[in-house]
Structure 1
Amino acid sequence: MSLTTPPRPHDPLEAVPELARFARSATRLHPRQGEPVETQSSVGGPLLWPAEEPWPLCRLEHDDQDITPFDLDLQIRHARRMSEPKDGRFDRMDFSSRLALSRQCTLDLVTEAYPVFDLLGPAPLIPIAQLFYGDVPGLPWADRYDLLQILWCPRDHTGTEYDAPYCPAFQLRWRRTDMIGEVLTAVPEPALVDERYMPNPCLLNPEVVTEYPFSKSLPPDLEDAVRDWEDRLGIQALYNNQTAVAPGWKVMGHGGYWGIIDPEPMFCECGAEQFPLFTADSGEFGGGSRSWQPIEEAGTEWEFADPVDVTIGRGYTLGLYYCPDSEHHQGRTEMF
């Protein structure tokens, strides 16, 4: 299926032609629910994984915020009440203590149900995207690779120098498909997940679009020119919402909409500036970004607004950045 982004309602280059030098190509993945197989590009589908290669594990510290199945909630509340003072005092447990007890109760309950798993040990990752270069143009190092596999740990993390806190944590594999022999069929699964980070299996409908930097990333004179353009048209946030960056799941381009923090450049430990590689979004369009809905799906209302059904934070975006100098350098993530 081919999905096409409608022409932008207004062309910023007519008013601010200097923006042209900042244009970048991005590939909107347009994931739609389906039944992908390991030989297809997908979001949330199976990976073409070499049988002899160990499945990746998450060894980071978790900081789970929402991992409790609803039907266990009453048991956790009961355990919490049982641990509070019984000597007639009215003081209650502080928030941190209550949260720690809830997490421990969850681990105890799940351990009882699944004793074979070590819930506090390294956890298997899950596939988040498989991108064949023949399907998704513009991926880095096309002279060396023809497949990019992206996995993440579907739990919240404390955050590191490279990983955003309260988000999944990524791992990447760059591959040549002609070097993959026997394919792994029995894939390890984590025992504990946050359902917000469990993607629906989706097939992709890649489309290349042109993006421009978020307004606050522009030089001051161009940022002022963009604001003047919006004022003349009387449309607030026209540039950022309807022109600069496409919403949804995509690769390359200028990344996501910086809605909760101001944009900042990402730098590798080698000193090189890092650039957007992969953007995971809490939906394909909505609110001010409705104009990005594909032409072929016009009139479908919200049927295809969130096919992946992943939620980042409170409906935000998670961007993965890479170093253009080497695929072996550590990438960075940011939630915005």
Structure 2
Amino acid sequence: MQRASELALELVRGANPEFDPGSPSPLIPVAQLYYREVPGLPWPEKFDLLQILWCPRDHSGTETDTPYCPAFQVFWRKAETLEGVLIAPPQPDLGLEHYTPNPCVVSPEVVAEYPNIHTLPDDIKIDIDAWEERSSDGIDYSSDFAHAPGWKVMGHGMYWGIYDPYPMTCECGAEQLPLFTADTGENNGGRESWQPIEEAGGEESYEGPVGVSIGRGYALQLYYCPESEQHTGRSAMA
């Protein structure tokens, strides 16, 4: 019986006879962020542009803690060193459609997030629970205050809906910090707390304009080491 990997390779070679499985595979651009538009990015004294790409396939044995996700690559740059933009950039010969983002132009909006409730001291958790019980409009700390849904940079990271949060530790021993979140959708099912400015007061909705699906509707978080941009980042799905 023909294995799935052999069948996939046969199909790719049929569409592109020049395909070489041993050569590097082109990556898909996921985000290009200029420091002038996104405040708070690391090492502003050295860089003014952050480029994030990924391979649109499920990976295992990489820095991700979840084996069925695309693999990130991060590039910290000075914009003045970049050469001309390719008119026809190379495309991967094999990739998954739900890991291929729709082209988007972003209008960054700065929001305030708060720590995951599972990482807070017990006395503060008790106070938050009491506050939520007194609330008459169903406000929830985690959904309405702690974690902005959707695609974002920095902040306190994901909701961690699959399992409780745990420290992401670099090989150097430092705790890695959230850098970038790729989410399956936007606006957390219509939470008014996180409506974009241009949509404030409008009808609640659940949108997915980027067209990416992570797992069964989850998010993929990329972490970086604050000690050095040369240290390998890690990722986790939650």
Confirm whether residue 174 of structure 1 aligns to residue 76 of structure 2. yes
Q: Is the 8 A contact 2:118 2:165 kept in 1?
A: yes
Structure 1 counterpart of 2:26, which letter?
Answer: P
Is this contact kept in 1: 2:184–2:208, CA < 8 A? Answer: yes
The answer to whether structure 1 residue 276 and structure 2 residue 178 are counterparts is: yes
Structure-2 residue corresponding to 1:27? none
The answer on 1:327 being equivalent to 2:222 is no
CA–CA separation in structure 2 for the residues paired with 1:163 and 1:148? 23
Task: Give the TM-score taking structure 2 as reference length.
Answer: 0.91
> How many Å separate the matches in 1 of 2:185 and 2:155?
18
Change in CA separation of 1:182 and 1:106 when aligned onto 2, cut-off 3 Å: closer
Contact 1:162 1:330 in 2 (8 A): no
Once the two structures are TM-superposed, the CA of residue 309 in structure 1 deviates from its matched residue by 0.8
Structure 2: any 5+ residue segments left out of the alignment? none
User: Over aligned residues, Cα RMSD in angstroms?
Assistant: 2.1
Residues 72-221 of structure 1: pairs in structure 2 closer than 5 A? 83=1, 101-119=3-21, 121-162=23-64, 164-221=66-123
Instruction: Report whether the alignment pairs 1:251 with 2:153.
Output: yes
Partner of 2:202: 299
Task: Pick closer, same or farther for the CA change 1:212–1:154 going to 2, 3 Å.
Answer: same
The gaps in structure 1 that reach 5 residues or longer are 1-82, 84-99
Contact 2:191 2:204 (C-alpha < 8 Å) held by counterparts: no
**Residues 241, 288 of structure 1: 8 Å contact kept:** no
* Identity rate, percent: 58
The one of 313, 324, 333 equivalent to 2:215 is 313
Whether 1:287 and 2:182 are equivalent positions in the alignment is no
**SS of corresponding position for 1:127:** strand
Residue type of the alignment partner of 1:172: V
Asked whether the equivalents of residues 65 and 237 of structure 2 are also in contact (C-alpha less than 8 Å), the reply is no
TM-score normalised by length of structure 1: 0.66
SS of 2:29's equivalent in the other structure is strand
Residue type of the partner of 2:49?
A: L
Cα distance change, pair 193–237 in 1 and its aligned pair in 2 (3 A)? farther
Higher Rg of the two aligned structures: 1
Once the two structures are TM-superposed, the CA of residue 165 in structure 1 deviates from its matched residue by 1.3
Aligned partner of 2:141 in structure 1 is 239
Q: 1:293 to 1:139 in 2, by over 3 A?
A: same
1:166–1:313: 8 Å Cα contact kept in structure 2? yes
Kindly indicate whether the alpha-carbon contact (under 8 Å) linking 1:111 and 1:119 is maintained by their aligned counterparts in 2: no
Take 1:325 and 1:219, find their aligned partners in 2: how far apart are those partners? Answer: 27
Whole-angstrom distance in 2 between the partners of 1:236 and 1:132: 37
Task: Quote how far apart the aligned CAs of 1:296 are.
Answer: 2.4
**CA distances 1:22-79 after superposition (whole Å, capped 9, x unpaired):** xxxxxxxxxxxxxxxxxxxxxxxxxxxxxxxxxxxxxxxxxxxxxxxxxxxxxxxxxx
Number of residue equivalences: 237
The secondary structure found in structure 2 opposite 1:273 is coil
Report the alpha carbon displacement of residue 221 of structure 1 after superposing the two structures with TM: 1.9
Q: Any idea what SS the aligned residue of 1:123 has?
A: coil
Structure 1 letter corresponding to 2:155: G
Change (3 A) 1:266 1:288: farther
Pick closer, same or farther for the CA change 1:110–1:289 going to 2, 3 Å: same
Residue type of the alignment partner of 1:335: M
